[in-house]
Amino acid sequence: MQVGLFTDAFTHLSLTQTLAWCAAHGIESVELGTGGYSPAPHADLERLSSSEAARQELLGELASTDVSLGALNVSGNPLHPNPQIATLHDAQLRSTVRLAQELGVTRVVAMSGCPGGPGDASWPVFAGGAWLPDMERLWDWQWAERIAPYWGELSRWASQAAPDVRICLELHPGTSIYNAESFRLLREVTGDNVMVNLDPSHFWWQGMDPVRVIEDLTGLIGWSHGKDTLIRDSRMAVIGCMDFRWPRPGSADMPWHFCAVGAGHAASTWVSLVKALIAAGHDHTISIEHEDPDLTAEDGALASLRGLREVLSGLEP
């Protein structure tokens, strides 16, 4: 198991500077954003897609630092009810999948997206927990009319356009495919080229056990993120996990927030999690994703790196 870095947090550094930083600290691979929600600070999707010279330049720069390209990240919303956004994110997803094939990268990290409701909706509507009568059966409509048709076709297209690439969906509340149950339903309409990007931080804040989730997804995990969640029990007891104020500056009064690996859960918990990942068939990379509001990008990545090194050393017999 190697440690990588999702470089989106390093917008203040060039690709050359970011790769040098990774090499200096022993980070073995990078995950580069290409579109969707990503600002794509280190990969110009249009240029890389249209120019073999640009692709060779990127691969050469990676080789010169002994840092590999583990994945491309194009997490966005191809199901957005605004057709301009949906068309853009769909095009970026397809371009990224094709680019990954051309670069010899086997993993593309993405999100399922979230549609609106029937009619002229212009905002996505998350149907998880549609408990009230006027929202009942929203999920069923979204599934039949938007989610299943899109991802069924996308999976078939990708199997032809990029047969070596696995699209790894981050199970993120706010997107339609957000837990093991919804992902298993999705796999009924896709091929095995659609897998999971396992980010434990999103399960912890919901009160879920990531180890149990991993066990339930055995054989379906193609990528993983290294990110922890700090839960403030006193605030959680009053506010709960569904905090309408997210995101907000600062963290002191939040019931939970993302943090560096080990700052939210003990190393022993992470050891169990990584062992579960390996047992479930994912033994390749844990890619650090920095979203700790109390640390800079460099400090957060280094804190997660220290945490993961402690965890990986704990795997030794």
| Residue 139 lies in domain | 2-313
Mean pLDDT check: name the lowest of 123-127, 134-138, 209-213, 244-248: 244-248
pLDDT tens string 25-48: 999 999 999 999 999 999 999 999
Mean pLDDT, to the nearest integer, of 1-22?
97
pLDDT tens string 169-211: 999 999 999 999 999 999 999 999 999 999 999 999 999 999 9
Give the model's confidence band at 262: pLDDT under 50 very low, under 70 low, under 90 confident, else very high.
Answer: very high
- How many domains does the structure of the chain reveal? 1
H or E element in which residue 249 lies: none
* Residue carrying structure tokens 């009924």: 188
How far is it, in rounded angstroms, from Cα 64 to Cα 291? Answer: 28
pLDDT at res. 24: 98
Name the pTM for this structure: 0.96
Mean pLDDT, to the nearest integer, of 291-300?
96
Q: With 60 as the cut, is the pLDDT of residue 1 above it?
A: yes
N-term to C-term CA, the chain: 15
Q: For the domain that residue 112 is a member of, what is the CATH number? A: 3.20.20.150
Q: What percentage of residues in the chain have a pLDDT greater than 70?
A: 98
Asked whether 228 and 263 are in contact (CB, 8 A), the reply is yes
pLDDT tens string 70-129: 999 999 999 999 999 999 999 999 999 999 999 999 999 999 999 999 988 889 999 988
User: Is 188 exposed, middle or buried, given 0-12, 13-18 or 19+ CB atoms closer than 10 A?
Assistant: exposed
Give the model's confidence band at 317: pLDDT under 50 very low, under 70 low, under 90 confident, else very high.
Answer: low
How far is it, in rounded angstroms, from Cα 121 to Cα 126? Answer: 12
